[in-house]
Amino acid sequence: MCTMICEKADMEGSAKGREGWFPLKNANVSYDHPFNAPWEYAVNIDFVNEDRGVGARVAVELSPESAKLLADSIMKALERGEADPQIQISVL
Amino acid sequence: MYTTDQYEGMIAETITISGTNGDAINTYFARPMGPGPFPAVVLAHHLPGWDELYREFTRRLAHHGYLAISPDLYCREAHGTPEDVAAAVRADGGVSDDQVMGDLEAAAKYVRSLPSSNGKVAAFGTCSGGRHVFLAGCRLDCFDAIVECWGGNVIMSDDQLTDKQPISPNSYTQDLNVPLLGLFGDLDQSPTPEQVNQHEKELEAAGKDIEFHRYPEAGHGFFYFDRPIYHQSSAVDGWDKMFNFLGKQLG
């Protein structure tokens, strides 16, 4: 809220929070103060389902370099997986 | 001056006040025991929410003889752990300045109405709370002094303005109507030292009664003893500066 930098994305999938698995609804990606990581700012990713209350949240707080590595890793895994027609993920 | 032979006691509890639009707002209220009269401080909590740290700040002020009151500025959003609530607020772009002003004003009016009040009320805030109390000193007439600690986004560019924060707080500089103490770390990134200099120059140009202190070895949030950014010598001096300022302004 100090930087106001937050990107929201609709999500399909599951996340495991403090009370077990829950269906995902959004990912909130902010560049703002973290709660725990030892820096003034971090890339904070909250996987949430607001319909289940604010406690339905899986959080990570990353350094900028880590965030870039994560984004790159996601894209690389997607490229490899989507290149193989035998292992396509079908959303039911 | 605190001495070992004096009586001391306080009551600290959650109460409810009527905030903006008459909404019921959970509020942490710590006060010295005794008839008073006591000066008061309204605390505007920081981005990480209405958390344990702010409860400790509230009790510390009560320990030093203040009616200390800290409204949950995120109360309308949801209830849960302070981090979960603050994360939801962060995702929503914060809370509106108008709403916060109403809640801070309600807290000030509440403490001033108490028979144990001496009629003087200051506002203290850090981070986003520092921004909020600067705004309060400009937009409201219910405070007698302001303690702004590293207020982030006091100076906002046009592309940072939103429906909730539609006007850069420094646009109100001319309207500041009470003395202001500002504490800042030179290693802070928000506000940067350049922004602190600009903020100070604008206040001086407007002829305001201000007292700015900068700490060369401190960054953002140097009072936060639960985080690596805590800076001991700066924090100790900052609290001293704050208690001296409050003592002078509130009696």
The domain in which residue A31 lies consists of: 6-87
B231 is catalytic: no
Query: Is the CB of residue A47 less than 8 Å from the CB of residue A85?
Result: no
In the set B72, B97, B103, B188, the catalytic residue is B188
Q: Residue A54: which of B78, B219, B229 has the nearest Cβ?
A: B78
Check B93 against A1: CB less than 8 A apart: yes
Provide the shortest C-alpha distance from residue B73 to chain A (in Å): 13
Q: Does A80 reside within a domain? A: yes
Please list the alpha-helical segments (H only) found in B82-189: 82-91, 97-113, 128-139
How far A26 CA sits from the closest chain B CA (Å)? 10
Q: Is residue A92 part of a domain?
A: no
Largest distance between two CA atoms of chain B: 57
Q: Tell whether A60 is covered by a domain.
A: yes
Q: Does B162 touch chain A (CB under 8 A)?
A: yes
- R_g (Cα) of chain A, nearest Å: 15
Q: Does residue B191 have a cis bond before it (omega within 30 degrees)?
A: yes
- CA B148 to chain CA centroid, Å, is 6
ipTM greater than 0.90, yes or no? no
What would the pLDDT profile of A8-57 be if each residue is shown by its tens digit? 999 999 999 999 999 999 999 999 999 999 998 999 999 999 999 999 99
Residue A1 lies in a domain: no
For residue A59, being part of any structural domain is answered with: yes
| Integer Cα distance of B69 and B71 in angstroms | 7
> In angstroms, what separates the C-alpha of B17 from chain A's closest C-alpha?
23
- The position carrying tokens 């201000």 is B210
- Residue B168 pLDDT more than 70? yes
Domains in chain B, CATH or no CATH each: 10-250 (3.40.50.1820)
| Nearest C-alpha in B relative to A49 | B88
Q: Does B51 touch chain A (CB under 8 A)?
A: no
pLDDT given for residue A91 in this prediction: 66
Q: How many domains are contained in chain A?
A: 1
In-domain check, residue A58 = yes
Is a pLDDT exceeding 90 seen at residue B76? Answer: yes
Backbone angles phi, psi at A7, to 5 degrees: -110, 135
A32 domain residue, yes or no? yes
DSSP B247: H
